[in-house]
Amino acid sequence: MCFRFNLANSLRGVALALLVGGLGLWLATGAHLGFTQTSVVTMKRDEITGIDYPERRAGFVAGIEFPLGSAGAAIIISLLSLAADRRNSAA
């Protein structure tokens, strides 16, 4: 069975890369189940009083919209690959 480079197979490869990329980015930045965050809150302790306080610093945590959006786009692209495959087999 030889792999053929045609439009349908290329679209399936793009859909797979998009799905893996979106899921990989989400996992690599912390797998946050909320929306994307552009700052990260860390708790610090005041040395004199012993009180804990939140401190914000710049950071990026991808939210759940990254894997869901990439999965939706991958589904649309793979449906387009099925349409391209049917067009090729009909000809």
pLDDT tens-digit map of 17-29: 999 999 999 999 9
Residue range 70-88: mean pLDDT, rounded? 88
* 68 token code pair: 């869901």
pLDDT of residue 71: 96
pLDDT tens-digit map of 8-66: 888 999 999 999 999 999 999 988 899 999 999 999 999 999 999 999 999 999 999 99
Residue 85 scores a pLDDT above 90 = no
What Cα–Cα distance (Å) separates residue 85 from each residue in 34, 35, 58, 68, 74? Answer: 37, 36, 46, 26, 16
